[in-house]
Amino acid sequence: KNQVEQSPQSLIILEGKNCTLQCNYTVSPFSNLRWYKQDTGRGPVSLTIMTFSENTKSNGRYTATLDADTKQSSLHITASQLSDSASYICVVSAWYGNNRLAFGKGNQVVVIP
Amino acid sequence: DAGITQSPRHKVTETGTPVTLRCHQTENHRYMYWYRQDPGHGLRLIHYSYGVKDTDKGEVSDGYSVSRSKTEDFLLTLESATSSQTSVYFCAISESKGNHKGYGYTFGSGTRLTVV
């Protein structure tokens, strides 16, 4: 069973609109949660990293939130641009272990003019 | 991506042949990783290295081996390629363990491998 579930699997939004992506996880004990953006044909690029004590972190038009009690995170994209078309991957790390990260399958976002 | 290079970017090979993928970094990071990415799956860890000649298995290591003779190079070898190993392979580097709060991963641009 995947420890990181993302929804929706895919969505299409109009340029200029906002959207929110969801990530639910079961990883425990929790250390940190990261959001990555992956453009087609490229490697993932880090957007945000949040620890247990952080509930919001922004990177330009991207704002991530974290509720460690309910084990949920969201990534909000404001005023979407065509360049936001990508897969957004939620990655969760446990507090122990030897480098095992739990990866979600990604939210595929397509921004249309 | 700056500081990390994967080669080749694309490769087609025949079933049963050995294949080696190379990851080269200029960041002097201690940790290096090999992942594979397949439709319907998140990135899955194949092997990782925590220093020169120090490597360990990930969750999908069967059929793969790795070597790290220098800090900057991490090689992934498919000993006898099979069609199930058709995938996109990503190398990643980090300054510290993946569970450390302060350190993210930097990923390479990937190698698309097709086994026919």
Residue B98: the pLDDT is: 53
- The mean predicted confidence, pLDDT, of chain A is 92
Cβ contact B97:A98 at 8 Å: yes
Q: Do B109 and A42 touch (CB under 8 A)?
A: yes
Residues of B with CB under 8 A from a CB of A: 1, 31, 33, 40-45, 48, 50, 56, 58-59, 90, 92, 97-102, 104-110
* Substitution target from B9, B30, B101, B111 for chain A, most A beta carbons within 10 A: B101
pLDDT band for position A108 (cuts 50, 70, 90): very high
A94's tokens: 């446990």
Q: Do B109 and A106 touch (CB under 8 A)?
A: no
Q: Do A45 and B1 touch (CB under 8 A)?
A: yes
B77's tokens: 């070898």
pLDDT band for position A51 (cuts 50, 70, 90): confident
Spell out the residues 6+ positions from residue A53 whose beta carbon is closer than 8 angstroms to its own: none
Which residues from chain A sit within 8 angstroms of residue B23, using beta carbons? Answer: none
Q: Nearest CA to B11 among B22, B25, B24, B2? A: B22
Residue A80: the pLDDT is: 97
Residue B38: the pLDDT is: 95
**CA atoms of B89 and B113, how far apart (whole Å):** 7
**CA atoms of B74 and A88, how far apart (whole Å):** 27
Residue A63: the pLDDT is: 98
Sign of the CA dihedral with A87 first, then A58, A70, and A30 last: positive
pLDDT band for position A30 (cuts 50, 70, 90): confident
Residue A97: the pLDDT is: 60
Q: Do B48 and A4 touch (CB under 8 A)?
A: no
- Asked if residue B36 has pLDDT above 90, the reply is yes
